[in-house]
Amino acid sequence: MSIIEAEHGTALPPSIRVRLAGPRDCEALAALLDDAAHAREQVLTWLETPGTTLLVAQSEIGVLGVAVLLTRIMPKAGGGMHKVVEVDNLVVHPDQRGQRIGRRLLAAAVEWARQRRAAQVEAVVGIGKARRFYESFGFAAAADRLVLAA
Protein backbone atom coordinates (compact mmCIF):
# COMPACT_ATOMS: atom_id res chain seq x y z
CA MET A 1 0.00 0.00 0.00
CA SER A 2 1.37 3.39 -0.95
CA ILE A 3 0.93 6.35 1.34
CA ILE A 4 -0.58 9.40 -0.37
CA GLU A 5 2.13 11.98 0.10
CA ALA A 6 1.87 15.70 0.63
CA GLU A 7 3.73 17.72 -1.99
CA HIS A 8 6.78 19.41 -0.52
CA GLY A 9 8.65 20.34 -3.64
CA THR A 10 10.60 17.09 -3.68
CA ALA A 11 12.21 16.09 -6.96
CA LEU A 12 12.89 12.37 -6.71
CA PRO A 13 12.77 9.65 -9.31
CA PRO A 14 9.15 8.45 -9.52
CA SER A 15 10.37 4.93 -8.82
CA ILE A 16 10.66 5.79 -5.12
CA ARG A 17 7.52 5.14 -3.15
CA VAL A 18 6.64 5.09 0.52
CA ARG A 19 4.66 2.17 1.91
CA LEU A 20 3.90 0.43 5.17
CA ALA A 21 6.54 -2.06 6.30
CA GLY A 22 5.80 -5.70 7.02
CA PRO A 23 7.65 -8.71 8.47
CA ARG A 24 9.36 -9.47 5.12
CA ASP A 25 11.18 -6.10 5.42
CA CYS A 26 12.83 -7.14 8.69
CA GLU A 27 16.34 -7.85 7.32
CA ALA A 28 16.43 -4.74 5.12
CA LEU A 29 15.25 -2.52 7.99
CA ALA A 30 17.73 -4.04 10.45
CA ALA A 31 20.53 -3.22 7.98
CA LEU A 32 19.59 0.47 8.22
CA LEU A 33 20.14 0.63 11.98
CA ASP A 34 23.41 1.40 13.75
CA ASP A 35 23.19 -1.19 16.51
CA ALA A 36 23.76 -4.33 14.41
CA ALA A 37 23.65 -6.68 17.43
CA HIS A 38 20.11 -5.67 18.42
CA ALA A 39 18.75 -4.32 15.13
CA ARG A 40 16.67 -7.35 14.16
CA GLU A 41 15.11 -7.61 17.61
CA GLN A 42 14.40 -3.88 17.54
CA VAL A 43 12.66 -4.10 14.16
CA LEU A 44 10.59 -7.13 15.22
CA THR A 45 9.52 -5.29 18.38
CA TRP A 46 8.47 -2.25 16.34
CA LEU A 47 6.50 -4.43 13.92
CA GLU A 48 4.68 -6.21 16.75
CA THR A 49 3.95 -3.22 18.99
CA PRO A 50 0.45 -1.73 18.73
CA GLY A 51 0.58 1.99 18.10
CA THR A 52 3.92 1.69 16.27
CA THR A 53 3.92 2.14 12.48
CA LEU A 54 6.84 1.73 10.11
CA LEU A 55 6.89 3.50 6.76
CA VAL A 56 9.61 2.54 4.29
CA ALA A 57 10.98 4.36 1.26
CA GLN A 58 11.42 1.79 -1.48
CA SER A 59 12.95 1.90 -4.94
CA GLU A 60 13.82 -0.81 -7.43
CA ILE A 61 17.14 -1.28 -5.60
CA GLY A 62 15.41 -2.00 -2.30
CA VAL A 63 14.55 -0.29 0.99
CA LEU A 64 16.29 3.10 1.23
CA GLY A 65 14.93 4.43 4.50
CA VAL A 66 12.46 4.01 7.34
CA ALA A 67 10.31 6.22 9.54
CA VAL A 68 9.15 4.81 12.88
CA LEU A 69 5.93 6.44 14.09
CA LEU A 70 4.41 6.17 17.57
CA THR A 71 0.74 7.10 17.95
CA ARG A 72 -0.48 8.23 21.36
CA ILE A 73 -3.58 9.82 22.82
CA MET A 74 -2.28 12.68 24.98
CA PRO A 75 -3.81 15.38 27.18
CA LYS A 76 -4.17 18.74 25.41
CA ALA A 77 -2.73 21.90 26.97
CA GLY A 78 -6.21 23.46 27.27
CA GLY A 79 -7.94 20.28 28.49
CA GLY A 80 -9.29 17.21 26.72
CA MET A 81 -7.28 14.69 24.76
CA HIS A 82 -5.82 14.55 21.27
CA LYS A 83 -3.90 12.19 19.01
CA VAL A 84 -0.17 12.83 18.68
CA VAL A 85 2.16 11.03 16.25
CA GLU A 86 5.82 11.04 17.24
CA VAL A 87 8.56 10.37 14.71
CA ASP A 88 10.58 8.09 16.97
CA ASN A 89 13.24 7.31 14.38
CA LEU A 90 13.87 8.25 10.76
CA VAL A 91 16.86 6.77 8.99
CA VAL A 92 18.02 6.93 5.38
CA HIS A 93 20.68 4.51 4.13
CA PRO A 94 24.07 6.28 4.44
CA ASP A 95 24.78 5.90 0.68
CA GLN A 96 21.45 7.51 -0.21
CA ARG A 97 21.44 10.62 1.99
CA GLY A 98 21.11 14.14 0.59
CA GLN A 99 18.64 13.15 -2.14
CA ARG A 100 15.51 14.24 -0.30
CA ILE A 101 14.53 10.70 0.63
CA GLY A 102 14.32 11.68 4.31
CA ARG A 103 12.09 14.61 3.43
CA ARG A 104 9.90 12.36 1.33
CA LEU A 105 9.52 9.92 4.25
CA LEU A 106 8.74 12.76 6.64
CA ALA A 107 6.12 14.16 4.23
CA ALA A 108 4.54 10.71 4.06
CA ALA A 109 4.60 10.45 7.86
CA VAL A 110 2.86 13.81 8.23
CA GLU A 111 0.26 12.84 5.62
CA TRP A 112 -0.25 9.48 7.34
CA ALA A 113 -0.85 11.37 10.63
CA ARG A 114 -3.28 13.81 8.98
CA GLN A 115 -5.27 10.97 7.44
CA ARG A 116 -5.68 9.57 10.97
CA ARG A 117 -6.82 12.92 12.36
CA ALA A 118 -3.75 13.46 14.51
CA ALA A 119 -3.53 16.95 16.01
CA GLN A 120 0.23 17.17 15.73
CA VAL A 121 3.42 15.41 14.70
CA GLU A 122 6.38 15.54 17.08
CA ALA A 123 10.06 14.71 16.91
CA VAL A 124 12.43 14.66 19.87
CA VAL A 125 15.91 15.71 18.73
CA GLY A 126 19.00 17.33 20.18
CA ILE A 127 20.98 20.12 18.60
CA GLY A 128 22.55 19.20 15.27
CA LYS A 129 21.89 17.75 11.85
CA ALA A 130 18.68 15.93 12.76
CA ARG A 131 17.25 19.13 14.22
CA ARG A 132 18.04 21.02 11.01
CA PHE A 133 16.39 18.26 9.00
CA TYR A 134 13.11 18.67 10.91
CA GLU A 135 13.31 22.47 11.04
CA SER A 136 13.88 22.66 7.27
CA PHE A 137 10.57 20.82 6.89
CA GLY A 138 8.76 23.32 9.13
CA PHE A 139 8.93 21.73 12.59
CA ALA A 140 9.32 24.26 15.42
CA ALA A 141 10.18 23.93 19.11
CA ALA A 142 7.11 23.77 21.36
CA ALA A 143 7.27 25.57 24.69
CA ASP A 144 4.60 23.58 26.51
CA ARG A 145 6.76 20.56 27.43
CA LEU A 146 8.60 20.30 30.73
CA VAL A 147 11.00 17.39 31.13
CA LEU A 148 12.76 15.90 34.19
CA ALA A 149 15.43 13.25 33.92
CA ALA A 150 14.13 10.23 35.87
Residues in contact with ligand COA by CB under 6 A are 89-92, 97-103, 125, 129-130, 132-133, 136
Contact call for residues 92 and 106 (beta carbons, < 8 A): no
Nearest approach, Cβ of residue 24 and ligand COA (Å): 22
| Nearest by Cα to 107 from 94, 90, 127, 132 | 90
Nearest approach, Cβ of residue 93 and ligand COA (Å): 8
Contacts of 21 by beta carbon, 8 Å cutoff, 6+ apart: 29, 47, 54, 55, 56, 66
Residue with Cβ nearer ligand COA (34 or 79) = 34
Residue with Cβ nearer ligand COA (23 or 98) = 98
Residue with Cβ nearer ligand COA (67 or 118) = 67
Residue with Cβ nearer ligand COA (44 or 99) = 99
Nearest approach, Cβ of residue 58 and ligand COA (Å): 14
H or E element at residue 76: none
When CB distances to ligand COA are compared, the closest residue is 102
* Reduced DSSP (H G I as helix, E B as strand, rest coil) percent helix, strand, coil of the chain, to 5: 30, 30, 40
Nearest approach, Cβ of residue 45 and ligand COA (Å): 17
Q: At what angle do helices 129-137 and 101-115 cross, to 10 degrees?
A: 60
